[in-house]
Structure formats: C-alpha cells, structure tokens
C-alpha cells in the first residue's frame, strides 16, 4: 500500500512539474502567414523559450515572438535593431550605427527577385521619428521583406511584449 502511494506521488509530481515547465518556460505556436519565409513557413510548428528575455539578452538576428499592446495575435519577426542603435537600409543593405552588417539569412529571398531590392531605403528617423532604437525596445522586420507587417509599419517593440525566442 505504501509503495502505491509513493508511486502515485512520484507520478503526480512529474505531471505537475511537466505542466509547470510547459506553461512557464515553453509555449507552442504555429506560423500564420508568410512574413518569415523561407526561414519559417506558413503552418510550421515551433516551441519558444519563454525564459529567453528574462535570463538572456536579446541579440541582433534573434527570431522573437511578441504581442503588440491591445492585440490578441502574436507576431514572429527577426530582431534587426537593439536599444541605442541607429538603423538604416541603403541599397538593400543594413547599416547599424553607420557600419554595414550582412544579413546572410536573406540570400534565398534576394535570389527570388533577380537583383531587385527586397528592403527599401529608410532611416529610423524617417519612419519612426527617432534617431535610435529607444531603451528597452527592439526594431523587428520579417525575413520576407516584401510581405511583412513589422517595425517599419508599427514602430518599436517593447521588451516587455516579447514572449520568447524561436530556435528554427
């Protein structure tokens, strides 16, 4: 009888631990849309680490899931700009604080447009009115630059709205 209680206690503890870890540390999502193609295709299922932005610093080119204030839908985009950085696109190239930064993950998308630009020219000041990314904020863009609603449209994403990081 005592052995059954111990086993039941272990099973219950394991189930509760699994539920807690799943709800606190990880979340499952499905890509809805084409804004991150070809990196993440529509219908692609993935898990995010919800502890990333609590314990690890968000870095350039991380793929993050976030929620815009007042919206239910979550979005998945790539981090391009970090707090304090000046972002500019010129001739389809990313410049951070005036220095060119290659974006190798865009190679497939650039091949599809036969030499035409996929990212239009802009500076942060032109599209947001700010010289640099504000503190505790990030600037995000979808990999499918021609079909993405991102920071070029809705502005900066506050770090408190970041749910977690995607590891494709």
State the Cα–Cα distance between residues 54 and 157, nearest whole angstrom. Answer: 16
**Known catalytic residue at 148:** no
Active-site choice (35, 50, 148, 151): 35
CA 82 remoteness from chain centre: 12
**Known catalytic residue at 77:** yes
Q: Whose structure tokens read 């190239």? A: 93
Give all strands of the β-sheet with 26-30 in edge-to-edge order: 26-30, 45-49, 162-166, 63-67, 74-81, 137-141, 157-158
State the Cα–Cα distance between residues 40 and 46, nearest whole angstrom. Answer: 9
Active-site choice (13, 22, 57, 77): 77
State the Cα–Cα distance between residues 106 and 40, nearest whole angstrom. Answer: 12
Q: How many residues does the chain have?
A: 168
Q: Which residues are catalytic?
A: 35, 77
């Amino acid at each position: 009888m005592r052995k059954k209680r111990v086993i039941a206690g272990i099973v219950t503890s394991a189930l509760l631990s699994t539920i807690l870890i799943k709800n606190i540390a990880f979340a499952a999502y499905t890509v809805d849309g084409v804004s991150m193609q070809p990196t993440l295709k529509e219908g692609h299922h993935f898990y995010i680490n919800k502890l990333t932005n609590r314990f690890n610093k968000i870095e350039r080119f991380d793929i993050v899931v976030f929620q815009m204030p007042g919206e239910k839908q979550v979005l998945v985009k790539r981090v391009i700009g970090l707090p304090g950085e000046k972002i500019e696109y010129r001739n389809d190239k990313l410049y951070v604080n005036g220095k060119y930064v290659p974006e190798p993950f865009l190679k497939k998308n650039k091949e599809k447009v036969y030499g035409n630009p996929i990212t239009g020219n802009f500076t942060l000041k032109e599209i947001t009115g700010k010289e640099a990314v504000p503190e505790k904020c990030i600037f995000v863009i979808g990999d499918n630059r021609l079909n993405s609603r991102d920071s070029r449209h809705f502005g900066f994403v506050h770090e408190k709205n970041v749910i977690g990081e995607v590891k494709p």
